[in-house]
Structure 1
């Protein structure tokens, strides 16, 4: 048989995916090195791989206590990994290309477009610059505010410790990484509402999407110049869906837990418990309560919210808010007898509708497979396994406490789920896509019975 002379070339999507996979492997090896550990502490390779995957995917699920294992250099390394996973490899790559005064060619622009889910190649360099500047600005403000508050409230007495903790907390919250240095997330601060508000603002800024943040900034610039400005359809859909899900999650949390976890608590305690958990389920991963105390309806509800995840082109994962909106809009349009889906005096493209249903189907299949395998291998309660898998896929990081107890195969399943949640379903499908072979013929069409 004659061998083909055609060389295999990786597609742009495959290169981006390989970038992230390589980042996870390299980060795991670095985190495994004793130089980043506290004296006398060792870390197994599988736990280093799990931590690296959770950091690069900005998930927050952990099998270790960060402050007990890593020294200050290890903690700084983790914050760098949050940046890589949160604002994207290509954003940082663009920054270094600009610093080195390198020309950003067509191939690099294609990588940027894929990494940030952009349909066009125009304006990508400016977009990367805006994303980087916005991220730095928000994280610096968060560090200053949190550090000053730590000192003022007496949580830390030394300025270096206060601002070191605030720097890690600010980056972790904005990138929705969900890691903490206290060992129990924000449970110790469940009565500190101001600290919770600061974290919620940072989480929302990271999860709502960079295009939305940029448009909001442009809106204020136009308003200052007394110029007319119109928000894009993407920003309208994203913002409405994002905040409606937060409100719905908080309301359902209150209803499901008022006779359980919230019983005997004041109205303001109930409000902040419900609101913080709902905001954090977008992709934040921080919590002010022990998740193992949740009732089954609340655990399932939060699993759904984590499965939906954050907005596109944000630091979060999941199927994304726009996907969820398009699914609902399409179903309601069909129920009203409409063939087209119209929102805000615009008509949604058929390709976007098809992609939404494709993402939903593949995501459901992925979560179902991971849950089924973990139930088979680990023998844990269904709601806990579902919660952990949805947290991994949504790159959220909320946990009911079962992750450290998983076997090595169980940890590998969550690692794969976290990485897929970060790179996205569309990129996963394009990564697996085979070269298209044009056909010179078509078959006759025939209808089939659907649904009943």
Structure 2
């Protein structure tokens, strides 16, 4: 029986199980009366939804965090965001190291799967560096924002509490807030917006990129950036710029009508950055026009970089897709970029990820539309936006998440979960063991397109 269980529990399934366990654990902690403010209670479904949203670093919520959760509940929520943001295996590795345990081969394999890596070597060192770098960035963000917030809040404790939670939420791209209004109170403070955007970039650009940048700064002469860093960084900031320009063009003369040019500039940049996975807002998103909401849904689908705190199809998937289309249009069978050739397996994985995401998103939109057909307050664009936000683990909302029915909430939880663990990890967890074929059929061409 033990051997059968060991065969069934592949590293991918163990990662899935670890995230499920974490979500259930934090749901119970958030459900405890000690986690609620006096006069407020959470149903278990509300606690579970909040837990899944926090561990998946999404930010969609069916409760008002600042009004519902006590200091203990907010501490549990922050811990859930940290676990989801840095990754279960990163924190697990830290615990193993603290207690002096040796990291064996199976544990290194789990780390490799959790961080979407391809090789065993340097896994423990990578986890240690990720943890220290993440905590360092969060601490710096808390110090900068907390000190600056002294002008907004009466007490030093409140200023650093707000600054610390905002820094954690921004870096982990979790999207939760304890202001009750996200970043709307600071919408005209460009310093706060710039710091938060920087933290969002740091969390969403990918831990391998941060590691390489740190190594480059210490050894500029002998260091060469990897193909992954070049592709994901180029794609991330290219989509960011195009997103900001597109949001400005679509809202110029509409929501932005009467705004000063600098406010339009920062609003466009911030909304382009936050739709990539962060979920923090400086305005009522539902005030945007229909084309902008569709554009932002597309940006949430793209998401952040691989091996980061963000979700979505990821930047490298988008890049490989367009590079493959470009190579086909030029009559080339191979895909080349930055003097390197893309592995055919990566092209296959790109097709699988995009196909699964599109089919899953359309299925979810259809099902939620069926669940909410009697809800007059919910329109199709709201369903598209909320579904894209959940699947892309972004957390932006038109404000109707709480109005959805329980079946819709369950479906959104499933989307957030798959978005956090990653589509490939999810698919590998249900994939059957490969068997060697002893014969081959004749090949025949299909008519495509």
TM over 0.5: yes
Return 5+ residue gaps in structure 1 as ranges: none
Residue 260 of structure 1 is matched in structure 2 by: 254
Instruction: Give, in angstroms, the shift of residue 32 of structure 1.
Output: 0.4
| Distance in 1 (alpha carbons) for counterparts of 2:128 and 2:142 | 21
Residue 377 of structure 1 is matched in structure 2 by: 371
Residue 31 of structure 1 is matched in structure 2 by: 30
**3-state SS of 1:60 partner:** coil
Residue 442 of structure 1 is matched in structure 2 by: 440
- Give the TM-score normalised by structure 1: 0.97
Residue 98 of structure 1 is matched in structure 2 by: 97
Residue 310 of structure 2 is matched in structure 1 by: 316
| Distance in 2 (alpha carbons) for counterparts of 1:171 and 1:385 | 28
Question: 1:304 is matched with which residue: 293, 298, 301?
Answer: 298
Instruction: Give, in angstroms, the shift of residue 40 of structure 1.
Output: 1.7
Distance 1:219 1:34, change over 3 A: same
Q: Tell me the alpha carbon deviations over residues 132-156 of structure 1, each in whole angstroms, 9 at most, x when there is no partner.
A: 01001100000000110000xx211
Q: Please, what is the CA RMSD of the aligned residues? A: 1.1
| Distance in 2 (alpha carbons) for counterparts of 1:369 and 1:201 | 35
Q: Tell me the alpha carbon deviations over residues 353-381 of structure 1, each in whole angstroms, 9 at most, x when there is no partner.
A: 11011100001111111111111111332
- Give the TM-score normalised by structure 2: 0.97
Moved more, 382-391 or 94-103: 382-391
**3-state SS of 2:219 partner:** helix
Residue 284 of structure 2 is matched in structure 1 by: 290
Residue 190 of structure 1 is matched in structure 2 by: 187
Question: 1:346 is matched with which residue: 340, 343, 350?
Answer: 340
**3-state SS of 1:47 partner:** helix
| Distance in 2 (alpha carbons) for counterparts of 1:62 and 1:146 | 24
Instruction: Give, in angstroms, the shift of residue 439 of structure 1.
Output: 2.2
Residue 174 of structure 2 is matched in structure 1 by: 177
Instruction: Give, in angstroms, the shift of residue 6 of structure 1.
Output: 5.1
Residue 245 of structure 2 is matched in structure 1 by: 251
| Distance in 1 (alpha carbons) for counterparts of 2:362 and 2:182 | 28
Q: How does 1:11-30 map to 2 (within 5 A)?
A: 11-30=10-29
Instruction: Give, in angstroms, the shift of residue 79 of structure 1.
Output: 1.0
| Distance in 2 (alpha carbons) for counterparts of 1:295 and 1:328 | 28
**3-state SS of 1:59 partner:** coil
Residue 228 of structure 2 is matched in structure 1 by: 234
Distance 1:6 1:24, change over 3 A: closer
Residue 48 of structure 1 is matched in structure 2 by: 47
> Are 2:67 and 1:68 aligned?
yes
Instruction: Give, in angstroms, the shift of residue 438 of structure 1.
Output: 2.2
| Distance in 2 (alpha carbons) for counterparts of 1:414 and 1:244 | 29
**3-state SS of 2:141 partner:** helix
> Are 2:410 and 1:416 aligned?
no
> Are 2:157 and 1:163 aligned?
no
**3-state SS of 2:254 partner:** coil
Question: 2:424 is matched with which residue: 415, 420, 426?
Answer: 426
Count of matched residue positions in the alignment of Structure 1 and Structure 2: 443
Q: Tell me the alpha carbon deviations over residues 314-352 of structure 1, each in whole angstroms, 9 at most, x when there is no partner.
A: 000001000000000000110010100000010000000
Q: Tell me the alpha carbon deviations over residues 215-248 of structure 1, each in whole angstroms, 9 at most, x when there is no partner.
A: 111111013xxx3321111000011000011100
| Distance in 2 (alpha carbons) for counterparts of 1:48 and 1:71 | 13
**3-state SS of 2:8 partner:** coil
Instruction: Give, in angstroms, the shift of residue 391 of structure 1.
Output: 0.6
Question: 1:277 is matched with which residue: 271, 296, 301?
Answer: 271
Q: Tell me the alpha carbon deviations over residues 37-84 of structure 1, each in whole angstroms, 9 at most, x when there is no partner.
A: 111210011110100000000000011110111111111111111111
| Distance in 1 (alpha carbons) for counterparts of 2:331 and 2:380 | 38
Q: Tell me the alpha carbon deviations over residues 199-226 of structure 1, each in whole angstroms, 9 at most, x when there is no partner.
A: 0000100000001111111111013xxx
| Distance in 2 (alpha carbons) for counterparts of 1:166 and 1:73 | 18
Q: Tell me the alpha carbon deviations over residues 61-115 of structure 1, each in whole angstroms, 9 at most, x when there is no partner.
A: 0111101111111111111111110010000000000000001000000000000
Residue 200 of structure 2 is matched in structure 1 by: 203
Return 5+ residue gaps in structure 2 as ranges: none
| Distance in 2 (alpha carbons) for counterparts of 1:98 and 1:412 | 37
